Structure 1
Amino acid sequence: MNPYLPIELEQTELWLLADKAVYWPGERALLIADIHFGKAAAYRRLGQPVPQGTTQANLQRLDALLAQYPSRRLIFLGDFLHAPESRTPATHAQLLAWRQRHPWLEITLIRGNHDRRAGDPPMELDIGVVPEPLLLGPFALQHEPEPHPSHHVLAGHLHPAFRLQGRGRQSLRLPCFCIGERISLLPAFGAFTGMLEVGAEDAQRIYVVGEDSVWRVR
């Protein structure tokens, strides 16, 4: 198992994590894209039979990452809440209980397209909300993967995945990090999200995640 893989980007060390996040050791920052809290709850309110427990599962994964990687800051690259229908009492209670376990943590949300519809997180979660881009070191932290004139973009939004080809017609599609010349993409962190398949031409380097490991395929 290889739970993280260090890379150098813009003369900065970043760790690509097998749990679909980025750790920036120099800033002691954890970067999370597209967590989509309350997506399953929103679908259930629309009458769709979808799994329960996804919010708690995402929070437990966050707890594990914060325990493993010493962080003073957590930055969400957009799409914190999935929709207005995500604002259920159960989801709110779970988020608030989680926040109370981490009162020391500075949390920032860069608004994504779903955030603009769902609204900002409740004030009691103590999350700073900013528009994109958030400039930090050599990076423009964004939700949309649009180029920035002076900074390398780290973004989400597309939920990238890469298809590994096996023998015959066998193949496996896995979430991936796409590291490009000026724009790099993080996979969606959320446990209940779709994926957009990308090709080798979409990035200079592709790192897939699966089975608690991360490795380069292109």
Structure 2
Amino acid sequence: MKFTSHNEQLVLDPDRALYLPEHGLLAISDLHLGKSAHFRRLGVPVPASVAQQDLLRLGLLFEKYQPTTLLINGDMFHHGLNSDIEDFRLWRQTYAHIKFLLVKGNHDRLAKADYASMDIQIHEPSYCLGPFCFIHDAPQCTEEELYPISGHVHPGVTVVGKAKQRLKFPCFYFGEEYAVMPAFSTFTGLYNIKPKTGEKVFALTQSGVVKV
């Protein structure tokens, strides 16, 4: 779905991604690579395919939009180095032509050398482009004239169907003061957003992006 914010065209993708066509930039948030392997270390039987499926989805988005840059708006990695991240290291080589930028989130705790070895550029506390300022946690921006786009809370919205069934979907939230991106990883919970009058929420369903 195409959506205009602050005189800039955005593409809201149902696979939990945001594309800025004027800049060739694909943005996602909360990838949480390494989370499934971290849980397995703790004895929780989470299949290794969780991280592999997220990387497969991301690769399909690369094919779809042909971006020059990928921006991860925080929590790219969930914990320390593990088997999931080693799989990513190999996967990354396939897309060496794409610039990877990371706005560090609260879970991004790898050493600088680890990010450099995977050709990931680090930005703290934010990355600003055009009218937007991408920042992971607090919906604030050091440049007051820019519109903050954050992540972190894994936003979701509840939709009531014709038969009064209640379904919850990940969503994009665009408020007056800031926006929130959905978590890209499917291995996350959802924080229910209750939009106020004038705020825009877009649910990400199997059939596409739906304005709520």
Considering only aligned residues, what root-mean-square deviation do their CA atoms show, in Å? Answer: 1.7
What corresponds to 1:173 in structure 2? 168
User: Which position in structure 2 is the counterpart of 1:185?
Assistant: 180
Q: Which residue of 2 aligns with 1:22?
A: 18
Q: Under a length normalisation based on structure 1, what TM-score does the superposition of the two structures give? A: 0.90
Q: 2:97 aligns with which of 98, 101, 104?
A: 104
Conservation of the 8 A alpha-carbon contact between 1:145 and 1:153: no
Please tell me whether the aligned partners of residues 36 and 84 of structure 2 are also in contact (alpha carbons under 8 angstroms). Answer: no
1:38 aligns with 2:31: no
Unaligned runs of 5+ in 2: none
Q: In the TM superposition, what is the alpha-carbon distance from 1:145 to its structure 2 partner?
A: 3.7
Structure 1, 68-77 or 161-170: larger mean CA deviation: 161-170
- The alignment partner of 2:136 has SS state of coil
Normalising by structure 2, what TM-score? 0.93
Letter in structure 1 aligned against 2:60: A
Q: Residues 155-184 of structure 1, C-alpha deviation per residue, up to 9 Å, x if partnerless? A: 100100000113565200000000111200
- Displacement of 1:203 after TM fit? 6.9
**Partners of 2:125 and 2:135 within 8 A in 1:** yes
Query: SS of the counterpart of 1:201?
Result: coil
- The answer to whether the aligner puts 1:64 opposite 2:57 as a matched pair is no
The correspondence for 1:163, drawn from 145, 158, 164, is 158
SS in 2 for 1:188: coil
User: Which of 1, 6, 9 in structure 2 is aligned with 1:10?
Assistant: 6
- Residue 34 of structure 1 aligns to a residue whose secondary structure is coil
Using the alignment, how far apart are the partners of 1:202 and 1:192 within structure 2?
A: 31
* Cα distance in 2 for residues equivalent to 1:126 and 1:56: 20
- Structure 2 CA distance for aligned equivalents of residues 72 and 203 of structure 1: 34
Q: 1:34 to 1:119 in 2, by over 3 A?
A: farther
Instruction: Check conservation: 2:34, 2:85, Cα contact below 8 A.
Output: no
Cα 1:43–1:153 shift into 2, 3 Å? same
Question: After the TM superposition, which segments of 4 or more aligned residues of structure 1 sit over 6 Å from their partners?
Answer: none
Corresponding residue to 2:49 among 53, 57, 77: 53
8 Å Cα contact 1:77/1:141 also seen in 2:
yes
Q: Percent identity?
A: 32
| C-alpha contact 1:178 1:203 (8 A) present in aligned 2 | no
Give the secondary structure class of the aligned counterpart of 2:56. Answer: helix
1:161 aligns to what SS in structure 2? strand
- Inter-partner Cα distance in structure 1 for 2:197 and 2:103: 24
Q: 1:202 to 1:123 in 2, by over 3 A?
A: farther
Aligned length in residues:
209
Q: Is residue 2:204 matched to residue 1:209?
A: yes
